[in-house]
Structure formats: structure tokens, C-alpha cells
Amino acid sequence: MSVVSAKRMLVEAVTGGYAVGAFNVTNVLQMQAVMETAIARQAPVIIQTSVSPTKFLTPEVIVAVFRALAEPAPVPACLHLDHCTDAAFAKRCAELGYTNVMFDGSQLGFEENVRATRDVVEHCHRVGDVTVEGELGTVSGVEDQVRVAESAAELCDPERSREFVERSGVDLFAPAIGTAHGVYLTENPKIDFDRFAQIQQKVNGRVVVAPLIVHGGTGLKPDVVRRLVALGGAKFNVSTDLKHALIDATYDYIATHRTEYNPGKIDTAAKAAVAQRVNYWIDLLGCAGQAQRGGADGA
Ligand SMILES: [Zn+2]
């Protein structure tokens, strides 16, 4: 059984000194590209979907495809719902077979974020081995239906991070530290490493309570990613990178084969391009060959 909870997978990552890629997908082709690459590299993997594509494909179809790909796979795998602001939909996805959901209450006040996140956490833990990611502070940029201007983005307060994790009961914690969704608008985005280190110390100082999640992986320079992994970053969300790979490869193939009507060839080109980016992230995060640590043996 290689479908595991994200928390179990990520505690292993933190203690093993590597991180896991959480790849945002919008269709079956991308799910296959991510899973096949993870298997080839013996890497634990998280497949995640934003709310809009989840509603478009339906969570039932996504869960069915995920299970068909993940259950026979010799690597640990999770299915994660990303940035859901609708508690009822998050709960429904947990009931249908998502192994991890993110309830994004970052636009709410602190107390309301704690209360609403806790409500989702309690439900998911009742449903089964479903873990929950919560966010404090706001990540700028556009992620599906969540849009935050850079000027309005608010970094996570380390002093409140432990309180948020304890009171909400989240299993994974996404603190805003200056990363952004989409394409970075500046060459060197200002990432607050000190803040990230303080949060890691406060939340996971003695024992790993809630592994830290880094949003906005696309466009981060390799040395930035490695530094965040060394400071305890356990899950890196990669979305825009895969979307660009898919669309650019599809466009290029069609543009150069304008009279050919063979969807399989377009899909093959697109899948190879997505797989190449997944390989890049697996190398950068250091999770190749970590499948056994990641919980594939059911430990
Ligand atoms: Zn995000």
C-alpha cells in the first residue's frame, strides 16, 4: 500500500534532510507524468490539485485516477487538495479519498482562521488518515481563486505560529515567508530565511509537530530551495512550472506539426516535458531514492 498520509511522509523528509515535491496537476496526463517519474526515481511524491480543476474534473474522477496510479506504485504517494477556502468542499474531498487537504484561512483574522481550520482538521481526522495543511500570513500572486497583491501579502508572525499550529491542530504548516505564486516579478525575490528558521524552531524545535510547507516553488533559485530544505522545508509546491511545461510543449508540437491530427503524439510530447520538470525538482529537493523512508513499507 503506497498511499500514505502527507504528515507521515513529510516527518520522514524532515528527519532525513530532504523535501518532497508537491506537483500541481490539471489533467490525467500530468498525473501520469508525475507518478511515473516518481517511480523511476524512487521518490516519495505528492500530487495536488487546486479547487477549480478539482471541480472541473470532479474529485471522484481525480481520486479514482490517483488510486489507479498510486496503489500499485512502489513509492509513497499522497493526493492533496490545494488552497481550498471552502470548508465544506475540503471536507467532501477528504471523504472521497484525498489523503491531505489544505484549508486556506489565511484571508481570515487569526481567531477565525484558527476556528475554521480546526473545524476542518477535526472532520478530516474523523474521516480517516487524512491530514490537513493550514496557512498563516498570505502568499502573494494568484493561485486558482486566491489572489493576493504583493503589497497586501503579510508574512507569518513566528510568535503566533506555534499558537496557530497547537490551537488549529494542523498536521502541516504553511507560513508566508516571501515566496509568491505564479512567475516571480523580480530576479531575486526577498525570502525571509530568518523568519522561516524561527518558525521551524518554534513549531518543530524539539519534535516535528507540523512539517513546514513552501508555496510558490516555481522560479525559486536552486540555492534558495536548498537553503529552505536545510532549514526544514518539507514540501515544496510546484504549479506554474508544470503548467508552462505542458502548454509550451503542446503549443510547440502543434506549431511544428500543423497538418498532423494525432492527439497521442501531442500528449507524448507534453508528458515528456512535464516529466522533465518533475525530474528537475526531485533532484533539487534530494528525494530521489528516498521511497523506502517515505513510508512505502507502511512504517
Ligand atoms: Zn500555494
Q: What is the pLDDT of residue 160?
A: 93
Say how many Å lie between the CA of residue 181 and the centre of ligand 1.
Answer: 6
Both ends of the chain: CA-CA distance in Å? Answer: 11
Q: What's the CATH code, domain 6-240+286-296?
A: 3.20.20.70
For residue 152, pLDDT beyond 80: no
As a three-state string, the secondary structure of 235-253 is EEEECHHHHHHHHHHHHHH
C-alpha cell recorded at residue 187:
530576479
Summarize pLDDT for 74-132 with one digit per residue, the tens: 999 999 999 999 999 999 999 999 999 999 999 899 999 999 999 999 999 999 999 99
Alpha carbon separation from 17 to 37, 60, 148, 226, 288 (Å, rounded): 21, 35, 31, 10, 12
Closest among 223, 23, 220, 210 to 139, alpha carbons compared: 220
Say how many Å lie between the CA of residue 146 and the centre of ligand 1.
Answer: 9
Q: What is the pLDDT of residue 180?
A: 87
Say how many Å lie between the CA of residue 194 and the centre of ligand 1.
Answer: 20
Say how many Å lie between the CA of residue 128 and the centre of ligand 1.
Answer: 24
CA–CA distance, 71 with 12 (Å, rounded to integer): 20
For residue 299, pLDDT beyond 50: no
- Specify whether the CB–CB gap between 21 and 236 falls below 8 A: yes
For residue 40, pLDDT beyond 90: yes
Q: What is the pLDDT of residue 286?
A: 98
For residue 1, pLDDT beyond 60: no
Largest CA distance in the chain: 62
Say how many Å lie between the CA of residue 262 and the centre of ligand 1.
Answer: 35
pLDDT tier, 144 (very low <50, low <70, confident <90, very high otherwise): confident
Say how many Å lie between the CA of residue 237 and the centre of ligand 1.
Answer: 7
pLDDT tier, 295 (very low <50, low <70, confident <90, very high otherwise): low
CA–CA distance, 47 with 11 (Å, rounded to integer): 17
Query: Domains of the chain: which residue ranges?
Result: 6-240+286-296
Mean pLDDT of the chain: 93
CA angle 295, 297, 298 (to 5 degrees): 65
* Residues designated catalytic: 82
Summarize pLDDT for 189-228 with one digit per residue, the tens: 889 999 999 999 999 999 999 999 999 999 999 999 999 9
Say how many Å lie between the CA of residue 143 and the centre of ligand 1.
Answer: 6
| Kind plus residue range of the DSSP H or E element containing 135 | strand 131-136
Closest among 17, 6, 82 to 44, alpha carbons compared: 6
pLDDT tier, 151 (very low <50, low <70, confident <90, very high otherwise): low
Say how many Å lie between the CA of residue 64 and the centre of ligand 1.
Answer: 24
Summarize pLDDT for 159-199 with one digit per residue, the tens: 999 999 999 999 999 999 988 888 887 878 889 999 999 99
